[in-house]
Amino acid sequence: DTEVTQTPKHLVMGMTNKKSLKCEQHMGHRAMYWYKQKAKKPPELMFVYSYEKLSINESVPSRFSPECPNSSLLNLHLHALQPEDSALYLCASSQGLLRSGVNQPQHFGDGTRLSIL
């Protein structure tokens, strides 16, 4: 079992749908991350939240909209996605860089497998 919980595990949606991916952690971590992973490829960073503020956006298209309602929750809102957006979306958390001043490992959820029809 992972300490980062992602829901749903699978999602199939049409290109005109609006859906949200959810991520939750209760480890007291203050940094949370969204990654996109295509088959047989490494994860690619999309967004970083630090202390509930968006600190990194890797030039992600606006059809992906992240939200961090509180320190335990991270959402990714999806709208008007394209077939090429089909992938495994991974959420991760860590203690964060600022507070500890020391680099920390990231803890990953098992991801949401997204298919766009």
Partner 1 sequence: SQQGEEDPQALSIQEGENATMNCSYKTSINNLQWYRQNSGRGLVHLILIRSNEREKHSGRLRVTLDTSKKSSSLLITASRAADTASYFCATGFTQGGSEKLVFGKGTKLTVNP
Continuous segment of H or E residues that includes residue 100: helix 97-100
Q: Residue 114, SS3?
A: strand
* Binder of partner 1 out of 98, 99, 115, 117 (CB under 8 A): 98
At its nearest, how many Å lie between partner 1 and the CB of residue 76? 15
Q: Does 28 bind partner 1 (CB under 8 A)?
A: no
Instruction: State the number of binding residues for partner 1 (CB under 8 A).
Output: 28
Determine the distance from the C-alpha atom of residue 96 to the mean position of all C-alpha atoms in its chain, rounded to a whole number: 15
3-class DSSP string for 45-99: EEEEEECCEEEEECCCCCCEEEEEEECCEEEEEEECCCHHHCEEEEEEEECCHHH
- From 12-20, 42-50, 64-72, 73-81, span contacting partner 1 (CB under 8 A): 42-50
The reply to whether 103 sits near partner 1 by the rule CB under 8 A is: yes
Q: Which stretch binds partner 1 (CB under 8 A): 11-19, 44-52, 62-70, 76-84?
A: 44-52
Q: Rounded distance, CA 4 to CA 90, Å?
A: 10
Instruction: List the one residue from 2, 7, 82, 115 that touches partner 1 (CB under 8 A).
Output: 2
Residue 60 as a binder of partner 1 (CB under 8 A): the answer is: no
The closest of 66, 69, 35 to 52, measured between CA atoms, is: 69
User: Of 79 and 113, which CB lies nearer to partner 1 in the complex structure?
Assistant: 113
